[in-house]
């Protein structure tokens, strides 16, 4: 039940929101002013969706909380919610500290290519796409009973070649929340999670577990 909420954490002037499920992890952090106290609370995801639906890019939101409740004030609207009780997963231990392969590529190009490659697999259980990373190209393939799709995206590679597969929906949802022109993706092996980060200074981290595939796919 604790994973139905998001961790709001304030540490030394940095505020972070953390969400996690069985397949992926997302962390967004930024600096805030005039905050001296550290804090850690778990807010129901539904309440945060309600807050998000009321926000525009120009508006400020005031946030307060005590031991049991959180309040969000947006103009004349107040949203009050009960906090979730319990301990959130120690998400920092889930983030890989090393990588064997790191690529840099254009966010929009990758997003568009995966969207096209996933068209045939949308009715499939895993929405499976396979990424084949070589010197300067990522090949994106999707093979189903309806047909085969092949896409290519240019990249800058540091490290080893890799073949790895993902649920395309989960991959796309991570990319769609990145406004930066370029991204880094870090891999260790084809059975370990990858890390997606903006190439600029935006503090956003998206961790995604791969789908195991047989060598003949």
Q: What pLDDT does residue 135 have? A: 92
DSSP-based three-state secondary structure for 2: helix
The residues, ordered by sequence, that sit 6+ positions from 162 with a Cβ below 8 Å of its Cβ are 100, 101, 131, 132, 133, 187, 189, 190
Residue located via tokens 């992926």: 24
* Domains defined along the chain, listed by start: 2-93 (3.10.150.10), 101-208 (3.10.150.10)
Adjacent-strand bridge partners of 162: 133
CB burial string 134-145: b at 16+ within 10 A, e below:
eeeebbbbbeee
Q: What is the pLDDT of residues 150-194, one digit of tens each?
A: 999 999 999 999 999 999 999 999 999 999 999 999 999 999 999
The model's pTM is 0.90
**Residue length of the chain:** 217
Determine the angle formed by the axes of helices 107-117 and 168-175, rounding to 10 degrees. Answer: 150
Please, which pLDDT band fits residue 216 given cuts at 50, 70 and 90? very low
Flag whether pLDDT at 143 surpasses 80.
yes
Q: What is the pLDDT of residues 88-113, one digit of tens each?
A: 999 999 999 899 999 999 999 999 99
Residue 63: which H helix or E strand, with range? Answer: strand 62-65
**Cα separation of 6 and 24, whole Å?**
13
51, 67 contact by CB (below 8 A): no
Q: What is the pLDDT of residues 35-58, one digit of tens each?
A: 778 899 999 999 999 999 988 777
pLDDT mean across residues, the chain: 91
């Amino acid at each position: 039940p604790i994973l139905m909420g998001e961790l709001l954490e304030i540490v030394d002037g940095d505020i972070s929101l953390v969400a996690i499920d069985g397949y992926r992890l997302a962390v967004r952090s930024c600096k805030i002013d005039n905050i001296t106290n550290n804090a850690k609370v778990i807010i129901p995801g539904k309440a945060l969706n309600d807050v998000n639906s009321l926000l525009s890019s120009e508006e400020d939101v005031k946030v307060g909380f005590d031991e049991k409740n959180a309040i969000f004030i947006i103009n004349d609207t107040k949203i009050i919610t009960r906090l979730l009780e319990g301990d959130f997963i120690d998400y920092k231990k889930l983030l890989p500290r090393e990588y064997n392969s790191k690529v840099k590529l254009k966010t929009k190009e990758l997003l568009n290519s995966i969207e096209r490659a996933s068209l045939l697999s949308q009715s499939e259980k895993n929405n499976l796409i396979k990424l084949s990373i070589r010197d300067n190209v990522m090949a994106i393939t999707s093979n189903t009973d309806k047909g085969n799709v092949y896409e290519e995206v240019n990249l800058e590679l540091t490290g080893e070649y890799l073949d790895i597969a993902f649920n395309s929906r989960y991959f796309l949802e991570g990319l769609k929340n990145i406004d930066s022109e370029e991204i880094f993706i870090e891999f260790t092996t084809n059975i370990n999670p990858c890390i997606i980060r903006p190439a600029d200074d935006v503090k956003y981290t998206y961790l995604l577990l791969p789908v195991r595939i047989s060598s003949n796919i």
